[in-house]
Amino acid sequence: MTTIIDGNAIADQIRDDVSDCTDRLASDGVTPGLATVLMSDDGASETYVSMKQQACAEIGIEGYHHEIDADEPAEELYDRIEELNEDPAVHGILVQMPVPDHVDKRTVLESIDPMKDVDGFHPENVGRLVAGNARYKPCTPHGVQKILAATGVETEGKDAVVVGRSDIVGKPMANLLIQYGEGGNATTTICHSRTRNLAERTRSADIVIAAAGVPQMIDGSMLSDGTVVIDVGINRVDADNEKGYELVGDVDFESAAEKASAITPVPGGVGPLTIAMLMYNTVKAASLQSGVAVDLP
């Protein structure tokens, strides 16, 4: 029997718990505020940001959305970040990635106040994560940890293979898996585009986390029976339908599900958790900045 993991149900539970925390903050006169900044014409990025804003509205977080034309000078974005750093109503700042080529990504990440960096991408927050003292765990890897816990998957002593070495998912995911404590203690391998014999690595894994951004690159032939498969990929591929595209993961779901003991679908797997953990980090940011303690799950 293969468990098809219901990411929406797991995310709903977390969102309920985070919502209780926003109530707690509200009783002390604190409304968490999240600023999203979009500097892109990419349809998928627009969709992700609007989903993040909608989630804010649903759980009592004040959303502030900023759009900057993709062909504006980079300074427009750097200046906007400075304004948001200074705005006391804004506890969290998220600049949707990727930014246009003429914008320096590192300048963006380094100019966000680390206390407001709810993505966890500022070097100070990356350093804290690596040191085992995370302030804001990056949303997608944190969400994967929550999925594993909610599905009853023990990570301690297991062989985990992370496919993909991005700053947003692959690297922080591996760092979380090797930490001491719950959701960690896994023997962790990071694979990437230059890895030789990828299938050998994935076949030897108890847990495979696919985060390479390559549609359906992991199929059933690359997995052993009983593997837990977490698919982080959300790829738009051409399709003969009204939208002209469909969403597929980095995993070939059908063949992988024949081998997996548990697997996340796309959509409805990891995606909802990314948003739930952003809400979590925003509430944590509001708590840290206001000094009002909350009991986050």
Query: By the criterion CB under 6 A, which residues form the site for ligand GUN?
Result: 94-97, 119, 139-140, 168, 274
Q: Yes or no: say if 229 and 263 are a contact pair by the CB < 8 Å rule.
A: yes
Comparing CB distances to ligand GUN, the nearer of 139 and 208 is 139
From the CB of 54, what's the least distance to ligand GUN, in Å? 16
Comparing CB distances to ligand GUN, the nearer of 94 and 294 is 94
How far lies 227's CA from each of 146, 159, 222, 293, in Å?
A: 18, 10, 10, 39
Q: Yes or no: say if 163 and 194 are a contact pair by the CB < 8 Å rule.
A: no
Q: Which of 96, 145, 179, 289 is catalytic?
A: 96
d(CA 134, CA 119): 12
Q: Which of 17, 52, 259, 289 is catalytic?
A: 52
Q: Quickly list DSSP for 97-165.
A: SPPPTTS-HHHHHHHS-GGG-TT--SHHHHHHHHTT--SS--HHHHHHHHHHHHTT---TT-EEEEE--
How far lies 250's CA from each of 72, 73, 211, 217, 253, in Å?
A: 33, 34, 7, 5, 9
Which residue from 72, 76, 7 is spatially nearest to 41, judged by alpha carbons? Answer: 72
From the CB of 96, what's the least distance to ligand GUN, in Å? 5
Is 179 labeled as catalytic in the residue annotation?
no
Is 52 labeled as catalytic in the residue annotation?
yes
Q: At 38, list the tokens.
A: 């979009």
Comparing CB distances to ligand GUN, the nearer of 227 and 281 is 281
Q: Which of 113, 119, 206, 231 is catalytic?
A: 119
Find the residue with minimal CB distance to ligand GUN.
97
3-state DSSP helix/strand/coil percent for the chain, to nearest 5?
Answer: 40, 15, 40
From the CB of 210, what's the least distance to ligand GUN, in Å? 15
Comparing CB distances to ligand GUN, the nearer of 192 and 258 is 192
Terminal C-alpha separation, the chain: 30
From the CB of 3, what's the least distance to ligand GUN, in Å? 26
From the CB of 278, what's the least distance to ligand GUN, in Å? 7
Comparing CB distances to ligand GUN, the nearer of 119 and 231 is 119
Residues belonging to the active site = 52, 96, 119
